[in-house]
Structure 1
Amino acid sequence: MTLNLAMVKKIEGSLASIAIGDALGFPGHDLTQEEIAKRFNGPLTTFHDAFPDNPYHEGVTAGSITDDTIMTLLFAEAMLDETKPKDAYFFGRVLAEWAKKNNIWKISPMFGPTTKASLQLLIDGADPIKVGTAGTKMVHGSSNGAAMRVAPIGLMCPGDVSKAIELAVAASQPTHGTQTAIAGACAIAAGVAEALNENATVFSVASACLRGAQEGEKIGEKVGRVVPAPNTRVRIEMAIEAAIKAKDIFEAGRLITDCVGNGLPSCEAAPAAVGIFVAGGGCPENTVIGGANIGGDSDTIANMAGAMAGALTGIDTVPL
């Protein structure tokens, strides 16, 4: 991977927007858009402490990051290791080694049930592919825990959407080995990879997300556990259509929520993130504000959407 100043700025922009979106979005987690506006006397545009009744972030103070950024930075560091092949076993080891050294995943409710169960099995030495495909419930392994952490894969595959998809599958498998989670992860990784192209546009990035979702779903059906879930590519198309119709980023959030949802399932959060990215027009500030105010899993949606916007326009456009 050859770096020039423009590429460095794109990478910095993506990572910064991930953290900002996460920190801006967590206070509105599990709230509706109307509740956010009521509690914060208008839209979320600055950092706030979590309210005491926040189910995942009680006690988290203004400007803090959550599991979204923690796991993203873990994968960013892992992707710098050029000595090992990046397969499911590599990512399984990365997760297990981190979990052995850090207890936050055990004690904090911000880490989801799929991730917690998978991390314990990985620590115990279980096969990562078997861990990610374990379970019989449709909700197990189908959340957005893989999609939220794969932006660094796209950042290490500038312009190479095919490679980003391949690596996103491997990165998903140790914890979220269902076809729907893999599709969401591939969509986000593909979008970030395309955003690093010098001539990338909002719609070339959105097209890459569509491709990632389609190919990821097909691969996931072959290598993962198939669960009942809507098709992620179709939902991304719906989210993009809603974004185009909206008059501003806040209406986009309402329209996107109405058609694809804004919750924890990958087939809701990943499409919502793509829609918010499109509605934000590639502007990182507009994008993370839109994600933070969409409600539901707002920090993760802002994180994923911000990853693409920051990669598209670079650090100079990110409000710091």
Structure 2
Amino acid sequence: MSAVRVATRASLLARTQSGIVADALRARLDREVVLVEVSTRGDVDQTTPLASFGGVGVFVSAVRDAVLRGDADVAVHSLKDLPTAPAEGLRLAAVPPREDARDVLVARDGGTVATLPAGASVGTGSPRRAAQLRALRPDLHVVPVRGNVDTRVRKVVDGELDAVVLAHAGLARLDRLDAVTEVLETDQMLPAPGQGALAVECRDVEDDAALLDALRDLDDDATRVAVTAERSLLAALEAGCSAPVGAHATVSGAPGEAVVHLTGAVVSDDGRVQVRKSVTGPAGDAEQVGRSLAADLLAAGAPGLVNGTRP
């Protein structure tokens, strides 16, 4: 049978993540599985802040187009990069088991957020991380940075920055956890909705039954429930709030009785004010759990947390 073609961004992390999925498909299908590298706008332009691109879909559209054109059979993304709106012609076929969703600090001299010197420079390209850093340490100098993991870590090693904030999952997949000086617990910094999870998409009309079966086998129920709740929260907030959003969900309980516990926060850009709340509900109703928490956050003043204004 023909090889399964997996569309991926060309960065080392993206290829590593796509390779994980490719290996899993290869084991299940006993067929050749090859990576198809795609350049995205976010990869080509390494200087423009991501927010200037509109914030969503920067690393996704070109990879999706490869599948829609028939140049690839499946696409692999970091799930946090996916827009919350459905993609016409594609389905989210698998959400494999999630890596650690937390953020981490990579700092000089083994530093932590608490021990960084006053005025220390901390790099991040994420408004969410920047706002929560300012909430934890208003004296820090938060510096916008772009580039791959090695580029960002090198800025610390070379002394250009005192620290950077990165995703635990990316460093784990690249076997670079030795660089971490502090794991940021979710009560310090809530991750992005979907962080640590992968998304595997295929065409909505796909006639390769064996491939569809293999993709279904890759799907992890608990991970899909958790990220569904987080992304539902984000989708509901996008209609009424443009401030940085963090969210994290966990699933517990026996099948049929499982519940999802979701925490979300909206933070002012300057970090001075944040609205943070939690909710628990049936795992089978994860979308409604996310919408319910979004309504609570909006009612508590989240729409006012834009550009440092108050609720």
Relative to the length of structure 2, the TM-score reads 0.25
Indicate the structure whose relative CO is greater, using CA pairs within 8 Å and at least 6 residues apart: 1
Higher strand share: 2
Higher helix share: 1
Larger radius of gyration: 2
Relative to the length of structure 1, the TM-score reads 0.24
